[in-house]
Amino acid sequence: MTYIRWSTNYWSTAALLGTMTLACCTLACEKKGTPEVKKQAFGATSEGAPVELYTLTNANGMQAGIITYGGTVVSLTAPDRTGKFADVVLGLDDVAAYQKGDAFFGALIGRYGNRIGKAQFMLDGKTYSLIPNNNGNMLHGGPQGFDKKVWTATPGTSPEGQTLALAYVSKDMEQGFPGTLTTKVVYTLTEKNELKIEYSATTDKPTVVNLTNHAYFNLAGPGEGDILGHEVMIAADRYTPVDAGLIPTGELAPVAGTPFDFTKSTAIGARIGQDDPQLKFGLGYDHNWVLNKTGADLTKAAEVHEAKTGRIMEVWTTEPGLQFYTGNFLNGSLKGKGKTYAHRGAFCMETQHYPDSPNKPAFPTTELKPGETYHSTTVYKFSAK
């Protein structure tokens, strides 16, 4: 394995991601790659903390670009039916845009992915007040969640492929959460064209944990139109309906006969405009599906197909839930990689425990106690037909 350090700083320009995308489209698609991890500068935060970009490449020419700010996946290439690689995730052009943004593009999310109602929960008889950042609720760990932190990176290799291990220690009461949480996330780009994400965490006090990744996908390419024609299968017979604030009601409702039935592959846009109260609450799909699984084995949760390119993305996870979001709040104001991100220009598939689980005793628990280890694995697998 080869490590290369580049000294060039691409701060405040689109050159870095544009160069990466060009390289992926013109080189990786024409010849096999050399498995490696490359490191280069990606600017600095407003506080002066340096941010690094690590690019993982497998033998097929697939690449994953990850920055230490937020553990963010800034680029990810996948082959089309002709073998041509192209970037399939939305991203921004510099650290300043990621710091300012609230769309969570590609970021590691913690301590708690999704929403916690009224920004509070009770644990062991004590009420913990969190920092609200979403209509009085907490969303994705708060205004200074894991997506706003600079992680410590260690590149490496494994029998499956090139790896990048990211570490962050969240102090006791950070964003209102109890316990010092020691977190490690390992990205692996496998030789099977998979991006594997393994999360682990320990705590010194009882706390709650729900980690995920918030990549925005468009299998035709970022900025290449909306995703309404993408066909989706979700292996779930139930979902968790929400109230007007997008907090689960506690019900596990059947998807049969509703716009939420993706048990058979269906175009995202086929029913997204139906007159359904749940779709109105989310302005489209922004809900958690209850996956058809028992236990914590790695099982297939979803599959997405884009007909024009033939690209397919499978989602495999150990988690019990999948938040499917259809870019409802994208409005053309965000730009990156030389593109404008239009309404419903991407989708997210966030593997996780259910939203608001700390306030819903009937939901699978997200509690973590001292002496225990939180562990979760998700795999995004790419192919084409």
Task: Count Cβ neighbours within 10 Å for each residue of 7-32 and write b for 16 or more, e otherwise.
Answer: eeebbeebebbeebbeebbeebbeee
The pLDDT assigned to 323 comes to 98
User: Is 214 tagged catalytic?
Assistant: yes
The pLDDT assigned to 31 comes to 52
- What average pLDDT does range 297-314 have in this prediction? 97
pLDDT in tens, 169-183: 999 999 999 999 999
User: Is there a cis peptide before residue 111, judged by omega within 30 degrees of 0?
Assistant: yes
Say whether pLDDT at 96 is over 90: yes
pLDDT in tens, 226-243: 999 999 999 999 999 999
CATH architecture of 108-384: Distorted Sandwich (2.70)
pLDDT in tens, 333-352: 999 999 999 999 999 999 99
Cα dihedral value 156, 157, 161, 165, nearest 10: -30
**Percent of residues, the chain, with pLDDT higher than 90:** 89
**Percent of residues, the chain, with pLDDT higher than 70:** 92
Which of 140, 214, 230, 353 is labelled catalytic?
214
Q: Using 50, 70 and 90 to split pLDDT, how confident is the model at 270? A: very high
Rg (CA), the chain: 20
CA distances from 114 to 164, 246, 247, 292 (A): 25, 10, 9, 20
Give burial (CB, 10 Å; 0-12/13-18/19+) of 214. buried
pLDDT in tens, 98-133: 999 999 999 999 999 999 999 999 999 999 999 999
User: Is 230 tagged catalytic?
Assistant: no
User: Nearest 5°: phi and psi at 343?
Assistant: -55, 130
- What average pLDDT does range 213-228 have in this prediction? 95
Bridge partners for 1 per DSSP: none
The pLDDT assigned to 53 comes to 98
Which of 36, 52, 174, 350 is labelled catalytic?
350
pTM of the model: 0.92
Residue 290: name the closest of 350, 235, 358, 349 by CA: 235
Q: Using 50, 70 and 90 to split pLDDT, how confident is the model at 16? A: very low
Say whether pLDDT at 18 is over 80: no
Beta 36-44 vs 3-6: how paired, if at all?
parallel
Note the Cα 203 to chain centre separation in Å. 23
- CA separation for the pair 37, 189 (Å, rounded): 10
Say whether pLDDT at 4 is over 80: no
**In the chain, where are the structural domains located?**
108-384
Say whether pLDDT at 27 is over 80: no
Three-class secondary structure assignment of the chain: CCEEEECCCCCCCCHHHHHHHHHHHHHHCCCCCCCEEEEEEEEECCCCCEEEEEEEECCCCCEEEEECECCEEEEEEEECCCCCEEECECCCCCHHHHHHCCCCCCCEECCECCEEHHHEEEECCEEEECCCCECCEEECCCCCCHHHCECEEEEEEECCEEEEEEEEEECCCHHHCCCCEEEEEEEEEECCCEEEEEEEEEECCCEECECEECCCECCCCCCCCCCCCCEEEECCCEEECECCCCCECCCCEECCCCCCCCCCCEEHHHCCCCCCHHHHHHCCCEEEEECCCCCCCCEEEEEEECCCCCEEEEEEECCCEEEEECCCCCCCCCEECCEECCCCCCEEEEEECCCCHHHCCCCCCCEECCCCCEEEEEEEEEEEC
- What average pLDDT does range 91-98 have in this prediction? 96
Please name the amino acid found at residue 66: I
- What average pLDDT does range 145-152 have in this prediction? 98
